[in-house]
Amino acid sequence: MSSGGQLKSADSVATLTVLGAGTMGAGIAHVAALAGISVTLRDIDEAVLERALSTIRANLDKGVARGKVEAADRDAALGRIATDTDLEASVAAADVVIEAVPEAIELKREIFGTLAKAAPAHALLATNTSSLSIAEIAAAGDPARVVGMHFFNPVHIMKLVEVVSHDGAALDTTRAATQLAERFGKTPITVKDAPGFASSRLGLVIGLEAIRMVEQGVASASDIDTAMKLGYGHPMGPLELTDLVGLDVRHKIASYLATEIGEHFKPPELLSTMVADGKLGKKTGQGFYRWVDGKKQ
């Protein structure tokens, strides 16, 4: 390791910091705390942190109600989560840091530059980016201990984690991330640091084509989603998933992949228009579906 530290084995990780308390950050904090790790959830906004804690509590309560989580485990997990608004302080004692801030590469690079100095030398540094270059993010700090850990929404339910290595990463960095995903109860796959990795590249092709079909009047959003659920066994249709992920996030990733891979990833005009109109999906109450109190209508 260029930092001079030695990464901890997944079983010995005791402290973990999640940077960003949005949908993904809250989900990552949830699974880490349930795995017995003390978690610090950091965001610049206290209100966002409060919402994240409420979401985690509600999801754990649902797990208890459905018999998936023991009440004692729920209570213990909630007791393991602390919050912070200070970046340096939040990572000072972390064995692992997982960044889950918005998909803006300069923001991520700024954070990883800080982490290289503020986090312990032994800390594993992971980014939850779904498509951006891990190598470019890692170059801002200590590349040897930086890895991609792409979780899926909702994190506490979805089993997949993409572990994304890059040429500058140490071998034990990728191994540590893979084992950590397994400790979270996830199934990790290892992919190359290529634009969109595996899942975003494949999933976005379906999602963008579904949007084009709505744009062209081929079928309704509901019927297109039903086609993929009943015809191909998908648990959720591509348009409902787009609403859940956020149309703005999909638009940003599509624009990036159009530049990096090819024009077939260019955002459909309908997607661009909806983003411009503030119809971003579940978080704004309107996307391809209408959402009331977080529920699809």
Based on the domain organization, do 31 and 134 belong to the same domain? yes
* Residue 5 included in any domain: no
Based on the domain organization, do 138 and 223 belong to the same domain? no
* Residue 2 included in any domain: no
Cα atoms found within 13 Å of the Cα of residue 212, Cβ hemisphere only = 11
Based on the domain organization, do 172 and 225 belong to the same domain? no
Predicted pLDDT of residue 1: 46
Predicted pLDDT of residue 2: 46
**Alpha-carbon gap, residue 27 to 33, rounded angstroms:** 10
Amino acid type, 287: G
**Alpha-carbon gap, residue 202 to 47, rounded angstroms:** 35
Domain endpoint, select from 173, 191, 209? 191
Residue range(s) defining the domain that contains residue 65: 10-191
Based on the domain organization, do 67 and 103 belong to the same domain? yes
* Residue 29 included in any domain: yes
Looking up residue 29, the CATH number of its domain turns out to be 3.40.50.720
* Residue 135 included in any domain: yes
- The tens digit of pLDDT for each residue in 228-276 reads 999 999 989 999 999 998 999 999 999 999 999 999 999 999 999 999 9
**Distances 280 to 96, 133, 245, 284, 286 between C-alpha atoms, Å:** 32, 25, 9, 6, 6
Alpha helices in 13-169 (DSSP H): 23-34, 46-65, 71-79, 87-91, 105-118, 134-138
Based on the domain organization, do 20 and 164 belong to the same domain? yes
Q: What is the CA radius of gyration of the chain?
A: 19
- The tens digit of pLDDT for each residue in 137-195 reads 999 999 999 999 999 988 999 999 999 999 999 989 999 999 999 999 999 999 999 99
Domain endpoint, select from 191, 220, 235? 191
**Distances 215 to 94, 208, 267, 291 between C-alpha atoms, Å:** 47, 10, 12, 20
Predicted pLDDT of residue 3: 47
β-bridge mates for residue 18, sequence order: 41, 98
Domain count along the chain: 2
Looking up residue 247, the CATH number of its domain turns out to be 1.10.1040.10
* Residue 3 included in any domain: no
